[in-house]
A and B are shown apart, each in its own frame.
Chain A
């Protein structure tokens, strides 16, 4: 294989090569790993700014804006956050390349909130072998809570399984004699929910009388709904991504089936699911939430949420407040800042990981009142509480207590 040397040199010159020593220097009390100094903390991130999942790119932009706000207010104990975010286009090979660039070339302290189950799976082994924290990943898969095998990887949002267990708890309480019919998407997302539900129902898993799976390639899922209705079930679990969830809500209404109907948090968007399905068809549908809704007027007088509104107005002018990604990005960025504050002057990778696993009753501004972030050396699932909600009129009404998705409670 042959090449033009000068072309290669030109290409390499774009890669920034920093010269920071690898081991932490032994200054009095202050301890640093690569990526942290007296004046700066380098945070790495990968996001799909392009490609099929580029809608999530807003999360990265929100985080960047949040850290700008933190820096404007003096940084973390005088240290400014240097947020380096690269595009992985939702492609696992690109994710590996970009993360290696962050760790080996930019020399970041941690890789924070990388998005997507495939991308995170691709980089997990590498980051764990390099002992670089893979902090607060942006995916709902359950496998991130595995401190024994992957002590450098920690999740953030509630896992699909914990959410499903909350529905199971609700059903056991409200409809212990119910006959449950389930429609689920035939992939890791659908199967995670199914497992969570069965675990949650435990001995009463026999309540499930029908399971139907669908492929995302199917144009419509109408026939599944008709089939599920014919089983005589009076509870319907709609484990589908937004497009199919909307189709299901509509069809259930059309065939005049009136079960207790639950949709997942993934498909609880008013604009993306409930309105397209038809507001009339959506009345009374149940779901669960852990964060406040930017479009819901009830939070506009909430003291904590006012901070979020002020942040969006000042640092992201013109952004769409209905976009759940801004609420998400703000909450997770605030969790990182809290973790770094807890680290004090010991900014080593091991200590960052230790502090991330020592969050006690932490409440970012954007989480529902009562939902708290708790982690420990054996619990790497920061958020595991949600609150049930019912669709009424044109919005979700929260009801009942905050429920934990942990199996033990």
Chain B
């Protein structure tokens, strides 16, 4: 029971954390690009004003999102010890290292320069202020790289030896250049950009449609944001699919069971077809199924008649290798999460390509259906991210470290009552945070950029009609007698 509850807690925490993290990674880079554009268009007042206004608008959404990413990240750092103590003892020598390096290299960089970026305007030069958002962006990428290094080692352990009942690191470089890591980092990083781009596009589309309906001119901030989001998004979505495909090929070699489970292929086939969707039983007796002939062989082996290993054959091979037991993950989970991820990816690609056509024809601001559909479409990347993550983790089961340690062996020997308490507690906390976050995001996403001052605060005319915030500009006594602290963030 402790095992089951601990798995739920880990899954809920990680999936919840991963709602916010890709958006942080993607938006940090997009904000760095926007602020660079603003910096470089000094001298052209209108252009500079537009880029600055864009930066301010998206920055507020970024900060709301960033906060939750940070606090749920703290849980990540400690939950291995809390709920997976036996796992921690077994892997600490290898797995702990990237985690520690992540904190030292990435977390300090992110948090320190985020502070400079949020509060430092007017205290540091424009150049240093610009550099600080780039350093935040680099910090988010480093963080992703190191945590994926730890995760990639669980998927495909390298650079270690088994010493007694522990895995011992023998080659740090091998751990940091794991083929699985490079492939998954590129997939996750580009997916993060798609996430940020889809969010920007969706919110911009809502504003463009709003002004369109009111018969007003489109706001330059949203025309430009939609354009930037489309260009970044379409490149990133193609890259995500490319790297995802690359990852699938690696997986076929490194974790054949996961790939077979993604497809629910029971028996090894040559020229395997790709199952698009299945109604009924996955075990080979479906009520209704759509399949694309040969597609699976092409996807996983790059050849028309390539062989795809089946679950039964892999199960037999793994039983021979590791001993009795089931090595098959929960098929309906792997099958459907894989389909949701790929399906969302394809939909986003089609949508972004459509948007590019409109953009090319200069019809983006006047289109009706595209702008309408782009708003709900901003949920697609989140759905894809969550299902991709669930797929990769559930697909590895029953292993926690593939081929070395089973999940059931890793759990902490603690009373079920404690886990019940923390599971209920964390779930309640995440639910509260989610409600608040979505409320705030929606509220700030709908704001008119013209009703917001340079500190990203609502002007007294814009908000709830209270002049409270705007009038209370905090001063500070620096030697420059800088009376206006951009410290109104709080």
Q: Do A and B bind each other?
A: no
Which residues of B does A touch, CB under 8 Å?
none
Which residues of A does B touch, CB under 8 Å?
none
